């Protein structure tokens, strides 16, 4: 079911000639590594006395039905499907999840937030710093639940050899602190991949960090989050929430993200495939099917809920 849905969407996007949007920077290493890493971990089964676990998550003022959310994206959605942002938010809402917008700030962001589905919005570190403050103000006025900054696109974004975003520059810690001060919503820093940046995120007052290599759209040869999670979790010592994304495709992948210490797991490309395949219904089905997989496997590792998961359940191959 899940693989058929993703396959159908992949084919439609390819027929539309938009599959380049889903490729990655320069050599393509990141996309490959973002899948291969999952094969390195298996689960410690504890089948005796297993109970049906609770998937719900309370985080930064929101209660979500499961730890599976959308990763920040705007641009590909209306390209792949007209009216797709509204269909995506409604499909995510049907499944009790969260919409996360990226660049550009959607023109209908207020309408999306008015749907009643939780919405988060991330903005880029534009070289013209006024544009960052303006974008943060716009998304707040639209009524999003969380605001965020992409710390990892200071050198722009690139797919294969083609520059996609180029009007950005790296942020300083001082600037991040000022931006945090300018908002009254939970503040999320996306694109953290080292203990050093994680510590700076905590110092800046980030309520959450997204450990992410941006799905391979920024710099080549960045590690997968699993390669740096231990150092990051150890550095932040619970002072900020941890969200992870990059290559998550099945409920079992999500469980590995939780085992590494994340509270939420983000999906990028799978949302686009599901939307292309079947609109609102496709997005809803994607999240619900992944939830079902997660529920089964979470029960079989002996967990009662999502928050008690830790790396004890993992056996490295
Ligand atoms: C076409 C496309 C557009 C994206 N746009 C943004 C964006 O505007 N802002 C952002 O923070 N991340 C953006 N991302 C990265 C995603 O938020 C996420 O980190 C990544 O896609 C996760 O990996 P996955 O696609 O393997 O699930 C984009 C990703 C894709 C594929």
What pLDDT does 205 receive? 98
Say which residues have a Cβ less than 8 Å from residue 7's Cβ, sequence separation at least 6.
Answer: 273
Q: Phi first, then psi: give them for residue 101, nearest 5 degrees.
A: -95, 155
Q: How far apart are the first and last CA of the chain?
A: 27
What is the Cβ-side half-sphere exposure of residue 198, based on CA atoms within 13 angstroms?
Answer: 24
Q: Measured from the CB, is residue 186 less than 6 Å from ligand 1?
A: no
What pLDDT does 123 receive? 97
How confident is the model over 278-285, as a mean pLDDT?
Answer: 98
Specify the pairing of strand 157-159 against strand 162-165: antiparallel
pLDDT digit string, tens, across residues 32-66 = 999 999 999 999 999 999 999 999 999 999 999 99
pTM of the entire predicted model: 0.98
What pLDDT does 105 receive? 97
What pLDDT does 1 receive? 85
pLDDT at 279 over 90: yes
Which one, of 239, 258, 165, 234, lies nearest residue 201 by Cα? 239
Residue 38 vs residues 58, 90, 237, 242: alpha-carbon distances, Å? 26, 30, 25, 19
What pLDDT does 285 receive? 98
The answer to whether 239 and 222 are in contact (CB under 8 A) is no
Q: Measured from the CB, is residue 190 less than 6 Å from ligand 1?
A: yes
How confident is the model over 220-227, as a mean pLDDT?
Answer: 98
pLDDT at 214 over 90: yes
Q: Measured from the CB, is residue 103 less than 6 Å from ligand 1?
A: yes
Active-site choice (214, 249, 250, 256): 214
- Reported confidence tier of residue 247, pLDDT bands at 50, 70, 90: very high
- Reported confidence tier of residue 91, pLDDT bands at 50, 70, 90: very high
- Reported confidence tier of residue 234, pLDDT bands at 50, 70, 90: very high
pLDDT digit string, tens, across residues 132-158 = 999 999 999 999 999 999 999 999 999
Q: The domain 2-316: what is its CATH number?
A: 3.20.20.70
Name the average pLDDT for the chain: 97
Per DSSP (E only), the strands in 135-288 are: 146-150, 157-159, 162-165, 187-192, 208-211, 241-245, 264-267
Active-site residue 224, yes or no? no
How confident is the model over 238-244, as a mean pLDDT?
Answer: 98
For a mutational test of ligand 1's pocket, the pick from 77, 162, 214, i.e. the residue with the most ligand atoms closer than 8 A to its C-beta, is 214
Q: Measured from the CB, is residue 256 less than 6 Å from ligand 1?
A: no
Task: Enumerate the domain spans of the chain.
Answer: 2-316
The answer to whether 92 and 72 are in contact (CB under 8 A) is no
The label of the residue with tokens 């599959």 reads: 19
What pLDDT does 216 receive? 98
Q: Measured from the CB, is residue 244 less than 6 Å from ligand 1?
A: no
Q: Degrees (nearest 5) of the Cα angle 144, 150, 152? A: 165
For a mutational test of ligand 1's pocket, the pick from 151, 215, 222, 254, i.e. the residue with the most ligand atoms closer than 8 A to its C-beta, is 215
Helix count (H) and strand count (E) of the chain?
11, 14
- Reported confidence tier of residue 93, pLDDT bands at 50, 70, 90: very high
């Amino acid at each position: 079911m899940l693989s058929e849905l993703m396959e159908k969407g992949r084919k439609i996007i390819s027929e539309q000639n938009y599959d380049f949007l889903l490729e990655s920077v320069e050599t393509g290493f990141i996309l490959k590594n973002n899948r291969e890493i999952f094969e390195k971990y298996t689960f410690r089964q504890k089948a005796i006395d297993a109970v049906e676990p609770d998937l719900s998550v309370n985080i930064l003022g929101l209660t979500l039905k499961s730890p599976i959310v959308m990763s920040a994206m705007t641009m590909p959605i209306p390209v792949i499907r007209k009216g797709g942002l509204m269909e995506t938010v409604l499909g995510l809402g049907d499944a009790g999840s969260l919409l996360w917008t990226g660049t550009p700030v959607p023109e209908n962001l207020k309408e999306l937030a008015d749907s009643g589905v939780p919405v988060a919005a991330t903005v880029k570190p534009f070289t013209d710093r006024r544009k960052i403050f303006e974008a943060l103000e716009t998304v707040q006025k639209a009524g999003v639940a969380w605001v965020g900054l992409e710390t990892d696109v200071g050198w722009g974004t690139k797919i294969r050899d083609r520059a996609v975003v180029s009007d950005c520059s790296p942020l300083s810690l001082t600037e991040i602190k000022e931006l945090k001060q300018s908002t009254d919503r939970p503040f999320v820093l996306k694109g953290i991949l080292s203990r050093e940046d994680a510590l700076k995120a905590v110092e800046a007052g980030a309520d959450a960090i997204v450990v992410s290599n941006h799905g391979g759209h920024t710099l080549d040869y960045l590690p997968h989050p699993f390669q740096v999670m231990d150092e990051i979790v150890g550095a932040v010592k619970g002072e900020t929430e941890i969200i992870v994304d990059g290559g998550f495709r099945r409920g079992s992948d999500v469980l590995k993200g939780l085992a590494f210490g994340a509270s939420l797991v983000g999906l990028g490309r799978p949302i686009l495939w599901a939307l292309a395949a079947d609109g609102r219904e496709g997005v809803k089905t994607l999240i619900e099917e992944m939830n079902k997989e997660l529920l089964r496997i979470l029960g079989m590792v002996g967990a009662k809920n999502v928050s008690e998961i830790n790396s004890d359940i993992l056996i490295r191959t």
